[in-house]
Structure 1
């Protein structure tokens, strides 16, 4: 059955929404870690997210996954915890601009992994678009001046690698299953919250006591928007599109991070930054179109071969 254009548009809009809130998360996470420390910041984020989604699932009477579905959700929970943990430590130790550049490496890694998993290699034009997007990110962040890689940069690179595996695995493990998207994400958040709580340990109560109004605002934003909203949309979207398409749309995240910095932190953007932002958006849409055409051709029945067979018969 062909996919409806209206649903394609909804998927695209929601994935861009995820990119927007994740772009804003860099500043929120950096501010929160300065107030609470990294382990406590991650733990608070996931505890708030797990409680909020738990209430929603209880009201909706969502059925929790079982068997293989539960195992897949737990596995994805550990990979999601690794992504956020590595990314938060990285942002804490490096600049938000460097983090925005390096996390976009998932944009290039995801189609490679998905192609290997599906044994259906994407056309070269897609990789040209993906590389162009990364070049755009480099132009975007170079306005502020890049420096030599640090330990924080290495952690963000690791987060990008894990994110590529996570997006690809989410599509492979959850597609064509009847498990509730909300319930699967709830299991992931519980795993993330439990893991982060164990890492934070005795520091967590003291961190909570130090939080002021802005700190709680950051916790709620990271927990509700960057976790519940973003994770639910990401998992729902990859069930209705490809991991590659999801990745390239969410790859606009650095553009939104820049906009948040300009509007809320008073950062300035020069000509190279504007050029990079335009290149990222253009490459994202071009890559999306290339990937969609490739997927549609792969699903199209071999009409010529069928007609030849019928004529011979």
Structure 2
């Protein structure tokens, strides 16, 4: 994880999202690759005679420590599903990088439709095949279930793809935040050389790189902070559920619905107005449940002989 953080410190010095488009493509290819490998291995495991097909109701109450644990797990799963919609945080930033004509919004609408359809297909397929292969003991990360499964090299390739994908994903989600903070600081302190003065650094194989002292310091500190947090709290599914729950409702549901109502001048208390607000309310309840379940998961893990920087899950 330290090595991952060092790599991110280097990539984070790239000025903006426009210049990491190639990294986004690499991340997308890696995501498709390890998902396909996981799907293929899951199908191979599921067709074996000794595969555990699980039970209709999943993990039984008798198999968990407390009756409430299953409820928390279900809520956490909702948060993990909501995390699939985290692309909404960078959708506008990505749209801003698209050339026109055709109109950027039309291209982005088509790309979003195809992207969500493909993602949904993979999520459902991998989820169902993984459960067919491992039953109630299906791991949070499907690939960890194939630790002693031939061919070992294929599992290793899938894990390498995951690491490369996460390198690109970190940048895609961090660059808009970097840009927002730097633009705000630049507008507030226009005469500050520390914030605004640019220095050109020539890098072999990349070309000239424009740097500011503020960008170098702030982005490095951000990466160090997130790396430390991930090392202290290595609870992948639980943390992912929290992030998914926090981002899903406001960015994917509430603000888009409110903008649609204003843009299309939907009349208050009309049927469409009521349906849209009902959808917003239901999604808020789902997000709240996902947040509670994921936080409960983190608390439960902290109580299980947890040691900072040593315990892994």
TM-score higher than 0.5 here? no
Q: Which has the higher helix share?
A: 1
TM-score by length of 1: 0.29
TM-score by length of 2: 0.29
Larger Rg: 2
